[in-house]
Amino acid sequence: MDVDADVDAVADELYGLVPGRFTQARDERAAGARKAGQAQAARAIAGLRRPTRAAFASNLLVRRRPTEVAAFLELGEALRRAHRSLDGTQLKDLSHRRHVVVAALARTARQLAEEEGQAVGDSAAHEVEQTLHAALADPDAAAQWSSGRLTTALTPPVGFAELSATAPERPRPAVARAGAAAKPKPSREAEQRRARYEQARRKAAETGVEATAREAELRGAEQEQREHDQALGEADARVAELERQLREARTGQDEARRALAEATDRVRAAARAAGAARRKADAAADRLAELPGAQEQ
């Protein structure tokens, strides 16, 4: 029995759940491991920490957007290489792309979390951005982030969030020790080929990251379009229903007016008939009173 594999499988499952379901599910899995006699696995599972809202959003991004994650990790490697080589021009270009991609992925993470019913406030959204900056700056942080099992937000190293647009002067190479064998200097043509290859490789990575950012923005815009289209459809349906009810109400109003007019006519006719009948009755009573013998009755 591979205890680590069992714990990994449970951790993958748990960190894919919304935070509100995490604790109960974790305790159930730990209890199941203890019942199965896996005391070591039970202790490891019970020790798993519930993720914060920002960590959940970051984990969800890793799990739902693997293509963007791969391109983002490549951007981090390119940034760290440029930082080590003190390549000011490349740092300036990559730094701009970093801000674009981080903003796009942070928006995507926030949207994914909200689709799961987990509102991400401004503070948590800032923590998601800080986590992304940390993943770009440090390979260990990148490994933690890309595992999809964060419990809390990561913090980038001081100064990384404001990479310099220009690099300091390169240190001069040390003088070779006396007697040390000198390495053959590459030909100018070989250096140019290598420079062209490296430039093309960096450009391919950068354009891939840029395309990923734009695709993330496109998905966000498409989602927003779908939501507005759905809202419009619901509004149209509501308007149609209200118009139908209005037509029925107007029809009922017209019928009520006709019925009222007919009833008014009947009342008037009945009133005339009643008046005529009353007059006839009064006349008949008067004639009866005038007849001989009426006084004797």
Compute the mean pLDDT over every residue in the chain, rounded to the nearest whole number. 81
Give the residue-averaged pLDDT of 161-165. 42
Is residue 10's pLDDT more than 70?
yes
The verdict on pTM exceeding 0.75 is no
Per-residue confidence band for 205, with pLDDT thresholds at 50, 70 and 90: low
What pLDDT is stored for residue 90 in this prediction?
63
What pLDDT is stored for residue 122 in this prediction?
94
68 vs 15: CA distance, rounded Å: 20
pLDDT tens profile 237-287: 888 889 889 998 988 899 889 889 988 999 999 999 989 998 988 888 888
43 compared with 184, residue with greater pLDDT: 43
Amino acid (one-letter) located at 168: P
Per-residue confidence band for 82, with pLDDT thresholds at 50, 70 and 90: confident
What pLDDT is stored for residue 202 in this prediction?
60
Give the residue-averaged pLDDT of 195-214. 62
What pLDDT is stored for residue 162 in this prediction?
46
What residue ranges do the domains of the chain occupy?
3-46, 53-166+201-224
What pLDDT is stored for residue 138 in this prediction?
93
Q: Maximum distance among all alpha carbons in the chain?
A: 171
What pLDDT is stored for residue 45 in this prediction?
95
Contacts of residue 219, Cβ cutoff 8 Å, sequence gap at least 6: 108
Is residue 180's pLDDT more than 60?
no
CA-nearest of 177, 171, 86, 98 to 133 is 98
125 vs 148: CA distance, rounded Å: 17
Is residue 99's pLDDT more than 90?
no
What pLDDT is stored for residue 179 in this prediction?
41
Share of the chain above pLDDT 70, in %: 74
pLDDT tens profile 48-70: 999 999 999 999 999 999 999 99
What pLDDT is stored for residue 172 in this prediction?
39
pLDDT tens profile 118-142: 999 999 999 999 999 999 999 999 9
Per-residue confidence band for 208, with pLDDT thresholds at 50, 70 and 90: low
Amino acid (one-letter) located at 176: A
Number of residues assigned to the chain:
297
297 vs 293: CA distance, rounded Å: 7
